[in-house]
Amino acid sequence: PGIYVCAQCGHELFSSRAKYEHSSPWPAFTQPLLEDSVAKREERPGALKVSCGKCGNGLGHEFLNDGPQRGQSRF
């Protein structure tokens, strides 16, 4: 429980309250802690490249409409 932070700079990224179980081996979240916690850029339709909002460290992807509920994203 708590806040997940960037491994490179310590910037707060995600709350454990937004974490959920997913079939991927990586932690899955429904939303970032704050809107500016992460930066996003389109990589391909349905997937955005996600990085730390402070230092730009790569965090993976946001998969649109792939969250636990209809219309939610999976980070």
How many domains are there within the chain? 1
> Which residues span the domain enclosing 41?
3-63
Q: What is the pLDDT of residue 24?
A: 87
pLDDT digits (tens, 9 = 90+) for 20-73: 999 989 899 999 999 999 999 999 999 999 999 999 999 999 999 999 999 999
pLDDT digits (tens, 9 = 90+) for 7-35: 999 999 999 999 999 998 989 999 999 99
Q: Is residue 73 part of a domain?
A: no
Quote the CA–CA distance of 35 and 26 in Å, as a whole number. Answer: 21
CB-based contact 20:28 (threshold 8 Å)? yes
User: 21-59 burial by CB neighbour count: b if 16+ within 10 A, else e?
Assistant: eeeeeeebbbbbbeeebbbbeeeeeebbebbbbbeeeeb
- pTM score, two decimals? 0.89
Quote the CA–CA distance of 4 and 12 in Å, as a whole number. Answer: 6
